[in-house]
Amino acid sequence: MAASPAKTFYIETFGCQMNAHDSEKIVGTLISEGYRQVDTVEVADLVFYNTCSIRDKAEQKVFHRLADFKRLSQQGKKFGVLGCVAQQEGRRIFERAPHVSLVAGSASYRNLGSMVRAIEHGHERVTGLDDRETEECFETEFTARTNPHRGYITIIEGCDKFCAFCVVPYTRGKERSRSSDSVLVEATRVVDAGYTEIQLLGQNVNSYKDPLGKRTFAELLAAVGEVPGIRRVRFITSHPRDFGRDIVEAIEAVPALCDHVHLPVQSGSTQVLGVMQRLYTREQYLERIGWMKQAKRPISITTDVIVGFPGESEDDFQQTLSLLDEVEYDGVFAFKYSTRPNTPAQKYLDHIPEQEKSRRLAVLMERQRAIQERNNARHVGEVLTAMVEGRNETRQQWVGRTSQNKILNFAAPAEARLRAGQYAEVRVTRSFPNSLLGEVVV
C-alpha cells in the first residue's frame, strides 16, 4: 500500500531575533508532529504567520497578508496567526479573518502540538492566549536550527518592566526563566550540532533568575562560555536596571564572552525616562557605561533610542544628543515614537508632530554617523578575528563579524576554502560608518 503524503506547512516570520528563534522551535515541533516544511503558501496544508507588534500598524500588515491568501482557504488550507499580534488581537482575528483556524501567543507555544492536532481533528477555532498566566517556558528538543553560523538559546521569556511605550509585557507574558542546568544542556546540544557561537536571548536577558537558584545571569554567561567547543557567546537584550558590574567582570574573565553589550537607553533625558517608566535615570545609566569603559578589554556598546516621545522637549532631545557624544556608541537603532495598543503612552496627549519627529531622527542619525566614522577608523591596521557569515558574490568579498559585533568584509584567496561558521584573521584596511574592510592574513 502506498504511503500517505506528508502533511506540509509554511511559516513566515516577522520581527526580532526572539521571533526568529521561536520559529526555529515551532518548525521543529511541527516536524516532530509529522509535518514537512515547504517554501510557498500554495503547496502548504498549514500556513502560519509568526507576528510582531513592536512597529506601528503591524496588525494591519498581518490582516493584509491574510486577505491576500483568503482564496486559498477554499482549497482546504488552514491558517494560523502566532506571536505578538495574535496575543494582542486575540479572538478578534477570527472576526476579521474567518478563514483563520488558530490564534496563539508565544506564551502558549508549549501546547502547539496539541493545538495543531485539534485542527486536524476538525476544530474550526483553536486558541492559545495565556497572556500573563503561565509560569512555563517554551522548551523543546525539536528545534530546527536554520542559522548557518549561530545557535540561539532563549533563557528568559516575557517582561515585567511595563515601559510606557511597549507592548511586550502584554503580548509575551510575565518574566519566566529556564533553569540554568537546562540552558547548559541545550548549549551542549548546540555544540554537538556544529555551532561554535551561541546567542542567549530574552526580552530582558539580564533579568534572568534561575528558578533553582544555582546561577546568576553573570554566572550562567560564564558557564556557557566555558562549554567545550564554544568560541563566542553573545546575549541580547539587556535592561539597564538589571545590568550589574558582575556582567562586565564575567566578560573580562571568560575569553569566549564577546566584548559587545547592547544596552538600550531610549532617551538621554531623566525627565523623559521617568515618563517612559524606564526605572533608571541618566546618571544611573552612565554609571553602567562607566563600568564597561573601565573594563580590562574594550567593550563595544550599542543602544536603542526613541525620538519624539510624547512631551519630549527640544532640551530633552539635546540631552539625548549629548549622551551620544559622551558614550560614543558603536551603533544606535533609532526610531520615531509610534503609539502601540494597550500601552500607557497611548493615552498621553502631548504628542510631537510627525515632521518634528522626522527632523529629530535625521539630526540624531547624522550625529551618530560621525561618531561611528571615528570609532571604526581606529581599527584600521589592526588584525581582528572575524567569524564568516557568508559571501557577497557581487563584490567578491567574504562577510564576517568581529567579537565586538562589527561587520568586517574582506578578501581571501580561493585556497582559504572559507565557509559560514569558520574564523579568519583579517587585517583592517579601510573603515566606513557601518562596517570595516580588510584582507585575510595568510
**Architecture per CATH, 7-128:** 3-Layer(aba) Sandwich (3.40)
Q: Give the chain's mean pLDDT.
A: 93
Give CATH 3.40.50.12160 domain extents, the chain: 7-128
CA distances from 290 to 267, 294, 297, 299, 405 (A): 17, 6, 13, 11, 20
Is 2 a residue whose pLDDT tops 80? no
Q: Is the peptide bond before 237 cis (omega within 30 degrees of 0)?
A: yes
Q: What pLDDT, on a 0 to 100 scale, did the predictor assign at position 163?
A: 97
- At 267-276, the pLDDT tens digits run 999 999 999 9
Give CATH 3.30.750.200 domain extents, the chain: 284-377
- At 155-192, the pLDDT tens digits run 999 999 999 999 999 888 999 999 999 999 999 999 99
Give CATH 2.40.50.140 domain extents, the chain: 383-440
- Residue scoring higher pLDDT (365 or 20): 365
The pLDDT of 215-224, averaged and rounded, is 98
Q: What pLDDT, on a 0 to 100 scale, did the predictor assign at position 140?
A: 82
Relative to beta strand 260-262, strand 232-236 is unpaired
- At 369-383, the pLDDT tens digits run 999 999 999 999 999
Share of the chain above pLDDT 90, in %: 79
Look up the CATH number of domain 383-440: 2.40.50.140
The pLDDT of 282-288, averaged and rounded, is 98
Q: What pLDDT, on a 0 to 100 scale, did the predictor assign at position 56?
A: 65
Q: Which fold has domain 147-258?
A: Transcription Regulator spoIIAA (3.30.750)
Class of domain 284-377: alpha beta
Report if pTM > 0.75. Answer: yes
